[in-house]
Structure 1
């Protein structure tokens, strides 16, 4: 692994790119701004008070345009032509704080430097409180095809523990507004296992999700990340840590309710109404595709070379101005590392892990996993059972041992 201090262009020995990997190519844009900081979040985000005058959406957008232009020039020097962009995902942070015009500018910046494939999927994350019917109409007209809304829970006291600012009913209203604006594909995010959440709270959240009529749901167990406000409260004994047995029971409830409503899992934490509703951008990650991550702290992967940008928006803008990719460090993955990542990601998919990509040394573990009812074999793939999905991380460890 190589990590650089990056002071001047001459010192900024950025990632040494090989070539594209031949799979899907996506662009991820990181918007680092949030109105408030959620207590559980450890993402690379900043409030206006934390940034002061050091950075703004305007300076960030100018730097983003510069990074995209630099990346396009770097890719043009590779042996194979730059693939068309099949997916774009604008995440954060809170992209909807940019407003409809700001998100249109982001998409224009990508289009100015890369060719979008016909039918490209273009997603933005949004906080329900910073959206409106006019917002959805503007971004739909700009070319966005998919919206992902952070709902987390329909219970007010659960949202309070998470330090979420939206009112319980706003996420459902926003999902309906997005659909009314012409968005066929709308996702709602749930977090389950928050201290104080009851079975009834989860049921109410699922009732709300299903009432919204969305075609995609993501549900994640609460993880207490070091350095967050939530972690400090758990450490001081103000809140209990999430209970693994409760998390497993909640996951099973979510899966059962969504399945009954016609949404099927296609990745351990994601359910979709049909194949078209699946998030193609995330599938690009899970299937080992290439992507450019633009913005402060964003990660990229092209042909087995991975790099990550400097985190602070002001330093990110300074690095872009110096020239070269604004990377803080990079690594060229070894064959063993690429195999490990392939296994970790692919085993979580409903399509399963191709047996011909599994190392011979993993076959004894494979036999035990199948015998224990954690997976089954179909069409030369290892596919997790319902019980296996609850133990996916352990299954990966066994296959790698």
Structure 2
């Protein structure tokens, strides 16, 4: 099902990074043209191409982000895209000073893979190669060589996250072979000759690629994980503006959100689900109550304006199973906990002071929800459901 709220209300933060990427495209274009015999009318034509491609690229980026198709989608942001595109342009500009056929374009895929999927990375990488070819008057063989390097580099990026030693060694070897052989092969096809200098440049490229995979990729993966954990914590801090708005609106809603957030995180950890996502989604699950009807649309609008992670917005869209049933374990957990906490909050303290009464409420509430088939599409197994239920029973207090 499509999102009920499209990304048509771009926040100032997103707009800043969008404009930054636009300026990056134009600056990169101008820098590539420096020192080349390019007339003003040719430069204007290239700038027109830049603007056209940038607009199409941003439309595709927005759509892919909305559909949750970006890697690390839970922490996908325009800031991350900008910080990935920036060094990719730096590699391209630095490579314009390298000998022909030996520009390190294979690095572009490595730099882009934390922020965008294969389609976007491939489109951007090939556009950058074509731009380099036009501004540097490259031969057809050189353009084809760079295009193949970009394509191969991006096709290999899913394997960069592998933990097995055999695949880890294999990826290093593949990057070395690609960086060494492809430029040499195309250089020979273009010149029908090959010297020791070209062989040394090829060896240098291959070794550099293998070293970058060894040193840079683990750092990028660790940085992604750190950003992910930090982003969820930021949205749950008492000093975050939206949290403060909820407190001003209603302390009851604030306390309810804190309870659901805490319990959802505990339950998610019990079955190996995404606890940070469950905690954040649990706190903002009833965000729409601040704005009134239509609550889900208004909640998603606020979440979109604050650049929430897409997986959290997906849980918020499935609020109460109204528009659709929970589709993920995190969404099912938040639904269970919210329904349970809501029911317990309606009961008086004397009733809930008894552990036996609290246990009965938990069993009755969760069993009724399960029997209605609300969690059939969430991917939660019967065993996981029982673990969640027993975990909640073992909690001293749900309030």
TM-score w.r.t. the length of structure 1 is 0.21
Structure with more strand by fraction? 1
Structure with more helix by fraction? 2
Structure (1 or 2) with the larger CA radius of gyration: 2
